[in-house]
Amino acid sequence: MEEIIRVDNLSFSYPDGQQALANVNLVIYQGETVALIGPNGAGKSTLLLHLNGILHSNGVVKVFGRPVDDKNLRWVRSKVGLVFQNPDDQLFSSTVFDDVAFGPINMGYSEAEVRRLVTKALDWVGMAGYEQRSPHHLSLGEKKRVAIATVLSMNPEILVIDEPTSNLDPRNKWSLIELLRGLAITKVVASHDLELVKALCHRAIVLDRGMVIADGATSRILADMPLLRAHGLAQAKIS
């Protein structure tokens, strides 16, 4: 299998000195759907921000074997599509169309190509016909879908999503999981929603205090109750 992302010995501290990542190593292969699970503050989001070069650190992040540096940032961002947790941060334009078209336009595609990509991306997420709506008129479930479309329209090789189901009600959550399951693309999903992880991901990586604690098949990791308890992912034993 081809390696899409390789992270070697990545450490990162925020300006206030707080260590967010410590010697993280991981490889994502083509066609996988990988869950990144861990309690609040484990460093999940920080790790995601490294995957397409928004944050830089001492370690090396490689995309398709090429180290991410300042010169190939645009290429990296066209390959690694990153969806942020809060759609109000992700959707900043005055219409849905402008938002979904933002990435393709930055990639320098022609007008006809941009329109085609926008239509296709909105179709994928079931939001066709919403082009001229304003993002603040949408419900949270709709916003999440459009946020995913804004990244899909760039035709990425890998989709990286931060907490896709946070704050969604069960119906919206399951329809979003179905949607993600239907996308034939490599995915990395950061979440502490174990239902989502179980339904969507083949492989799970447990992250806590900036360190990779475990990495393996989802079924094995979710069955390891002592591990989940130790890292705040299951109810503590009531004694």
Partner 1 sequence: MKHSFIDQYSDRDSIIHRLDPRTKLVTTLFFILAVVLTSPNRWQAFALYFFLVATLILLSRVPVLYVLKRSLVIMPFVGMIAIFIPFFKEGEVAGSYNIWLWQISVTYSGLQVFWNILAKAWLSILSLILLTSTTKFSSLLKGMERLRLPRVMVMLLSFMYRYLFVLVDEVVRMRQARDSRNFGGGHLWQIRTIGNMIGTLFIRSYERGERVYAAMMARGFDGQTRTLESLNFRQLDVFFGISLGLVLILSTVVNLLY
- The residue assigned the tokens 């992700």 is 90
Q: How far apart are CA 12 and CA 17, in angstroms?
A: 10
Beta strands at 19-29 and 3-13: parallel, antiparallel or unpaired? antiparallel
61 neighbors 52 (Cβ within 8 angstroms): no
Helices (H) and strands (E) in the chain, counts: 10, 10
Phi, psi of 58 (to 5 degrees): -70, -35
Candidate list 11, 57, 95, 166; residue touching partner 1; CB under 8 A: 95
Helix (H, G, I), strand (E, B) or coil at 193: coil
Please tell me whether residue 132 binds partner 1 under the rule CB under 8 A.
yes
Q: How far is the CB of 224 from partner 1 (least distance, A)?
A: 33
Would you say 23 or 94 has its CB closer to partner 1? 94
68, 141, 149, 150: which one binds partner 1 (CB under 8 A)? 150
Rg (CA), the chain: 18
Name residue, tokens 């992040």: 61
Beta carbon of residue 147, minimum distance to partner 1 (angstroms, whole number):
9
114 contacts partner 1 (rule: CB under 8 A) = yes
User: For the window 170-199, what string marks contact with partner 1 as x by the rule CB under 8 A?
Assistant: ------------------------------
Q: Which of 222, 213, 229, 217 is nearest to 22 (CA)?
A: 213
Residue selected from 68, 154, 161, 180 as contacting partner 1 according to rule CB under 8 A: 154
From candidates 69, 111, 123, 195, binder to partner 1 by CB under 8 A = 111
Whole-angstrom Cα distance, residue 108 to residue 197?
35
- Which of 42, 47, 101, 207 touches partner 1 by CB under 8 A? 101
Q: What track of x and - describes contact with partner 1 for positions 68 through 87 (by CB under 8 A)?
A: -----xx--xx--xx-x-x-
Binding site for partner 1 (CB under 8 A): 49, 52, 54, 73-74, 77-78, 81-82, 84, 86, 88-95, 98, 101-103, 105-108, 111, 114-115, 132, 134-136, 150-151, 154
